[in-house]
Structure 1
Amino acid sequence: MWDADTYNALFTTHGLTMLFFFVRPCSPGWRTTSSPIRSTPTTWAFPAHQRHRLLAPAAVVRPRPGRPPDGGAGEDDRRRRPAHRVPLRPRTADAGWTLYVPRAVQLANPQVDLLILGLHLSGLATVMGAINIIVTIFTERGDDVGWSNLDIFSWSLLTTSGIILFAFPLLGSALLMLLLDRNFGTTFFAVEAGGPILWQHLFWFFGHPEVYILVLPAFGLTSQILPKFAGRRLFGFKFIVYSTLAIAVLSFGVWAHHMFATGIDPRLRASFMVVTLAIAVPSAVKTFNWMATLWNGSVRLEAPMQFLIGGIGLFVVGGVTGIFLASIPVDLVLHGTYYVVAHFHFIVVGIIAFSMFAASYYWYPLLTGRMYDRRLATVHSVLSIGGVMLTFFPLFLVGLMGLPRRSAGYPAEFTLLQQVATVGAFVLAVSVGIWLFNMVNSFRTGAVVRDPDPWNLKETGQFSREWQWFEDRMSQDLSRPHALADGGRETGGAAADEADGGGDAEGDGSADAEDD
């Protein structure tokens, strides 16, 4: 039904969308939503810079598929075919999400140039946002917020923003050279000049820090939310901060482990192998700290906790399988196989996406004033964890059996495992649909939250700044006049409850009783 070029176009679009237009923008979204509340600044350091988000729509359409090409089957031929057999051949860049040269230079496809422009716009928006968060945390914190009591999520965002300032300008320079090679006859990546390997060095010097730009905010969300449902404070706060900073520094020294198979100097390969193994240590520190936080805690399996526990488990699988790839002999065998795809997606879909789902449930009462449907949230978590295992665990097996990635076809002996992975992908799609329905429907019909402490955080002394802000906002709302059906006006209290239909929210009044 689809040819190899269409497959190349689809996985190019998938990779760029996943990294640049899903994971990376979502973390600043949570940052923009909650960071000013938690670090209590009066405003963003550069409020106008928040308009960088307007660059996102222009950037995201650049790598999108366009209309079917003019060539190929004629109009009469297409009219005679059944609708489900008309080939979908989008006019999009099919150079692969890494834009490896010489293919990316030689493709006579203007969509590649538009893709480069979109990545430039995305990078510009990212750098502007990073500058804003750094300056805000340094200069606009509340008087009572010092470095010792800055929350762990803000530490993660600050570190991530620092990585962005060093990594994204290099990507912009590499993309500019690629654009010049494609359109103006320069030879930055020609064999007689820098060569194709120069592109790999430039891309992966950005690309591996980009992995931690994606994952560090997820670590921060996990460290921020996990203690709230473990019934105790985060174990080893300072060690998690130090490990975050260590990851930021080491992330710029491991890029060449993506290039073990390119024939670089064996001495360089050995040094990069050592650093790659070393960077696993601070990640392991975080994992053990999370486990210690759960140990002997009063764990409550609300939806955020279900996703965090599932995400940590999937991250352990993805991390352990990634350590093997740091070994030069193992990497030479598995580098171009589906094993790498499975390893990376266990992390991206596991700890990163799951931490975002956990955050969406945890802060949902604060952002909407309503409670989500807990039953749908549980179904969502179960399907998500099962879907990830069904989708990506078979890819480990086909990778170990030698199936190459970025290939549109595969031998018949891999059919069963590929079918299992396809079923898992549909399970994941259904789970995301359930989450979306839950978010939208609960916003309209969910139980109104009347308790400013819906997670009983005061019991463990973890009633953080954003929930204090939520409590103050609810107090102000209750003191305002409420219109009644008979045209009169009453203020707060019982009249307001009657106007809203009574105390139908779970945990009504528990926090007030504690305050009294």
Structure 2
Amino acid sequence: MSQAPSAEQQARNDRFERVWGNLPGWGTLSAVNHTTVGLRFLITGLIFFLVGGLLAMLIRTQLALPEQEIIGADLYNQLFTMHGTVMMFLFAIPVLEGAAMYLIPKMIGARDLVFPRLSALGYFCYLFGGLIILSSLFLQIAPDSGWFMYTPLSSREFSPGMGSDFWLLGITFVEISAISAGVELAVSILRSRAPGMSLQRMPLFSWYILAMALMIIFGFPPLILGSVLLELERAAGWVFFAVEGGGDPLLWQHLFWLFGHPEVYIIFLPAAGIVSTLIPVFAGRPIIGYRWVVLAIIMMGFVSFGLWVHHMFTVGIPQMAQAFFSVASMLVAIPTAIQIFVWLATLWAGKVRFHLPMLWIMGFLIVFVCGGLTGVMLALVPFNWQVHDTHFVVAHMHYVLVGGMLFPLVAGLYYWLPHVSGRMPSDSMGRWGFWLFFIGFNMTFLLMHLTGLLGMPRRVYTYEAGLGWGWLNLLSSVGGFVMAIGVATVILDIVLHFRFGRKASPNPWQADTLEWAIPMPVNAYNFASIPEIRSRHPLWDQPELMRSIPAGEHGLSQIEDGRRDTIGSDAVTGEAREVMHLPTNSWEPLITAAVLAGLCLSLLLKTYLLAILFAVLALVACLRWSWVNGLHPRIAPRDRTGDLPLHSRTTDGPGRWGMIVTLMADGTLFASLLFGWLYLWPVAPDWQMPEQSPLSVWGLLGSGLVLAGALGLWWRQVQGAVSVGGLLLVTVVGLAHCVALVLTAIEAGLGPGDSAHDSILAVVLAYLIFHSGLTTLLTGLQALRVRQGYTSQALPYELRVLHPLWGYTVVVYWISIVVFLALPAAFGGGA
């Protein structure tokens, strides 16, 4: 057991708790602390998992015997659509994001994530979006087109109800949460590590989460764009996927799987990070091949974006494309194999202790390898053609996703449970849970490989007797209920352990990572002092940290001016660069998420005047947030414990990094829009390019020159003396550009309801107007902040945060002119 803190330590801990703790009662809803937000993600994700599991049990009950009518065809389609949607969008990714939010600051020696209020906003968007999606099921108007929502099945003609709208708007709302988590985690890992923790000393789990966060940034925008386009087609009659208007339903598949296949690795990478963290601990030695694992992580992140078409081998794509994506699909086995061999080598070279978490890791190794082997089989085009729409694919997907994610997640849950409760899990009851789950899982999905090879199609609600599938389906259904009992046993074990588990000793697993130097149950601020790191395995190579961190013998051991402080470090070397002062508890995330939920519901109900009102309220909420979240000049200019400047007195703080990473996601959305244009132009059978572009070339060029002039004036403000008049001049010139762009759009007389050509041009113009307007508005806001003394030549931080947005706005504007005007003119159409 740990020693009781001295009176001095207790007094310091009390001061830290007063600054970092959550407000009591209902005030806890204003909490932004990463520990609280991370646990909320985990608990909410578990509830959604139970809902998804219940839907799965209903499906297996229906399929247990041939020709059953327990569930009708329409309800069955809703159930399997919602099962996939809940498990993929409301459980797998949010739970892993929650685990990452909880663990990353503790592992890298930080007190919180760098944008705490963004994390809280992400949670509430996730919660409200998930409730909106699930409400469709209780209202009996759930989507029934599959969790992949293929067009034209999900289009208005074949899905005339509100089910598809619930999916499209709800998922887009949830994706705000995922993007915010990606930005939060990427910037936090790069810029808030403890001093001395260079990239080469970073825990492997942090490498996995960094890759996951960046993949979210680049992988989720295509789905967001696809959802927006399909909702515009359904609600407003615009044309993107309808062949008769010049669209193509395969465009939806491309946009969906540009997200969908990287998502598999977004799910796998954090789980693999848990495996790479636990295996060295229970093997009692450092992982073999650290650099090889990092290389495999990077390789997997890149290669995963080149595999999306292997979900489309049966839709009629050219044979050359099939060959390319088949090879790419097999290539991804290389980084996967590297990690598996590293894990096995580490186990072989160590002295393995088979505690309960290790049992789940072994189950992962068995199940995931089997799933990987069937994945290589599916990468072969002729075999894929035979089994593509059968239960073989369903079985493969569950082996990869459940084996690759759920087994490590439960292992990690048992491993880090003492962090939350201060108690150890039950070894005996936990083993019962494992074996029930492991046996039930393999009974369910191993047999589904056989039903698939025997020809049983997926997405069917019943089947005839005498086809040879009946006994296999019955055993699969029995296995599903055994697996459900295993899940219930694990949950019961975790609940009971909070009351009956034995007290945990400090660092009960003899782990090597920093999170175990924190007292258990964990406090609100993680580290009473932030140490300097000299090793990849700080608790093995610097065991004194277990005593010296709580004793306050390292950096930032005192609370200054009631601020929430952590150390900001260099992205590569880990050298301490500044003291980051972080926002405290706030109602702004909850208010903003609630207003956005109102916007989503008003769009669902097609009350567009109310939607406009909520859009205005959302803008006001965001602007107020940016104002009160701004940096105040009355904050002491330097931290009293050292010479590190506050990040608000620098020009390269976390806000600038957050803006750049956000623009990477924004740029991916824009690139997806360009992809849609360049895809439909040569591929869509009824695409029509007018002889002359409906857009005024001179109007767009003139507006672009005005925008370039605004950028030049902005650059003078950033580089020279900051003034209210100068920023107002930039705002006026930017406003003139916006007005000219709006007039050009009106004069074009586009018919988005008539052709895909005009629909895409309308979306592009809306995109450009939005970014130009937002940039201009924020510049005007900066003029007000200069007047109030929040921004000045001595405090240029906020201008540097806004600077990348100005550059991005100008660049995408001129790229749009080239792609949507110059290219059609050069190839025989348009201007």
Scaled to the shorter chain, the TM-score interval is 0.7 to 0.9
1:424 corresponds to: 479
Residue 128 in 1 paired to residue 180 in 2?
A: yes
Residue 199 in 1 paired to residue 252 in 2?
A: yes
User: In 2, Cα distance between the equivalents of 1:291 and 1:371?
Assistant: 27
- Letter aligned with residue 454 of structure 1: P
Residues 165-218 of structure 1: CA distance to partner in whole angstroms, max 9, x if unpaired? 111111111000100111111110011322111111111111111111111111
Number of residue pairs aligned between Structure 1 and Structure 2 = 453
**Are residues 67 and 210 of structure 1, via their aligned partners in 2, closer, same or farther at CA, if it must alter by over 3 Å?**
closer
**TM-score relative to the length of structure 1:** 0.85
2:224 corresponds to: 172
CA contact (8 A) 1:350 1:388 kept: no
Q: How does 1:239-318 map to 2 (within 5 A)?
A: 239-318=292-371
User: In 2, Cα distance between the equivalents of 1:117 and 1:142?
Assistant: 40
Return the match for 2:268 from 205, 215, 226: 215
Q: % of aligned pairs identical?
A: 35
**Are residues 68 and 379 of structure 1, via their aligned partners in 2, closer, same or farther at CA, if it must alter by over 3 Å?**
closer
1:99 corresponds to: 149
User: In 1, Cα distance between the equivalents of 2:495 and 2:521?
Assistant: 26
User: In 2, Cα distance between the equivalents of 1:127 and 1:331?
Assistant: 33
Question: Which one scores higher on RCO, CA 8 angstroms, separation ≥ 6?
Answer: 2
Residue 34 in 1 paired to residue 88 in 2?
A: no
User: What's the CA shift for 1:472?
Assistant: 11
User: What's the CA shift for 1:42?
Assistant: 3.5
Return the match for 2:89 from 20, 42, 65: 20
- Letter aligned with residue 325 of structure 2: F
Q: How does 1:111-190 map to 2 (within 5 A)?
A: 111-190=163-242
**Are residues 362 and 100 of structure 1, via their aligned partners in 2, closer, same or farther at CA, if it must alter by over 3 Å?**
same
User: What's the CA shift for 1:47?
Assistant: 1.2
SS in 2 for 1:104: coil
User: In 2, Cα distance between the equivalents of 1:3 and 1:37?
Assistant: 49
Q: Which runs of 5+ in 1 are unaligned?
A: 70-89, 477-510
User: What's the CA shift for 1:100?
Assistant: 0.4
User: In 2, Cα distance between the equivalents of 1:187 and 1:386?
Assistant: 49
User: What's the CA shift for 1:471?
Assistant: 7.3
SS in 1 for 2:220: helix
Return the match for 1:408 from 456, 461, 481: 461
User: In 2, Cα distance between the equivalents of 1:205 and 1:473?
Assistant: 39
1:54 corresponds to: 124
CA contact (8 A) 2:392 2:450 kept: yes
1:506 corresponds to: none
1:4 corresponds to: 73
- Letter aligned with residue 516 of structure 2: W
**Are residues 301 and 102 of structure 1, via their aligned partners in 2, closer, same or farther at CA, if it must alter by over 3 Å?**
same
CA contact (8 A) 1:308 1:351 kept: no
User: What's the CA shift for 1:121?
Assistant: 1.2
Return the match for 2:519 from 470, 483, 488: 470
User: In 2, Cα distance between the equivalents of 1:234 and 1:170?
Assistant: 36
**Are residues 266 and 473 of structure 1, via their aligned partners in 2, closer, same or farther at CA, if it must alter by over 3 Å?**
closer
Which structure has the larger Rg over C-alpha atoms?
2
Residues 464-493 of structure 1: CA distance to partner in whole angstroms, max 9, x if unpaired? 20111237979x9xxxxxxxxxxxxxxxxx
SS in 1 for 2:344: helix
User: In 1, Cα distance between the equivalents of 2:164 and 2:253?
Assistant: 18
**TM-score relative to the length of structure 2:** 0.53
Return the match for 1:339 from 371, 378, 392: 392
User: In 2, Cα distance between the equivalents of 1:470 and 1:302?
Assistant: 22
Q: How does 1:436-447 map to 2 (within 5 A)?
A: 436-447=491-502
User: In 2, Cα distance between the equivalents of 1:430 and 1:473?
Assistant: 31
Residues 391-435 of structure 1: CA distance to partner in whole angstroms, max 9, x if unpaired? 100100001111110111123221110011101111111111111
**Are residues 374 and 68 of structure 1, via their aligned partners in 2, closer, same or farther at CA, if it must alter by over 3 Å?**
closer
2:780 corresponds to: none
- Letter aligned with residue 217 of structure 2: L
User: In 1, Cα distance between the equivalents of 2:522 and 2:450?
Assistant: 53
**Are residues 154 and 336 of structure 1, via their aligned partners in 2, closer, same or farther at CA, if it must alter by over 3 Å?**
same
**Are residues 302 and 341 of structure 1, via their aligned partners in 2, closer, same or farther at CA, if it must alter by over 3 Å?**
same
User: What's the CA shift for 1:67?
Assistant: 6.9
Return the match for 1:454 from 483, 508, 513: 508
- Letter aligned with residue 178 of structure 1: L
Residues 23-69 of structure 1: CA distance to partner in whole angstroms, max 9, x if unpaired? 10111111111110110123321111111101112111233264777
CA contact (8 A) 2:422 2:521 kept: no
User: In 2, Cα distance between the equivalents of 1:434 and 1:309?
Assistant: 19
CA contact (8 A) 1:452 1:467 kept: yes
SS in 2 for 1:262: coil
**Are residues 309 and 68 of structure 1, via their aligned partners in 2, closer, same or farther at CA, if it must alter by over 3 Å?**
closer
Return the match for 2:452 from 399, 415, 427: 399
Moved over 3 A (4+): 65-69, 470-474
CA contact (8 A) 2:78 2:137 kept: no
User: In 2, Cα distance between the equivalents of 1:388 and 1:259?
Assistant: 28
Q: Which runs of 5+ in 2 are unaligned?
A: 1-69, 526-542, 548-831
User: In 1, Cα distance between the equivalents of 2:402 and 2:227?
Assistant: 27
**Are residues 422 and 471 of structure 1, via their aligned partners in 2, closer, same or farther at CA, if it must alter by over 3 Å?**
closer
**Are residues 120 and 472 of structure 1, via their aligned partners in 2, closer, same or farther at CA, if it must alter by over 3 Å?**
closer
1:44 corresponds to: 113
Residues 417-470 of structure 1: CA distance to partner in whole angstroms, max 9, x if unpaired? 001110111111111111111111111221122x20212x2xxxx432011123
User: In 1, Cα distance between the equivalents of 2:382 and 2:522?
Assistant: 59
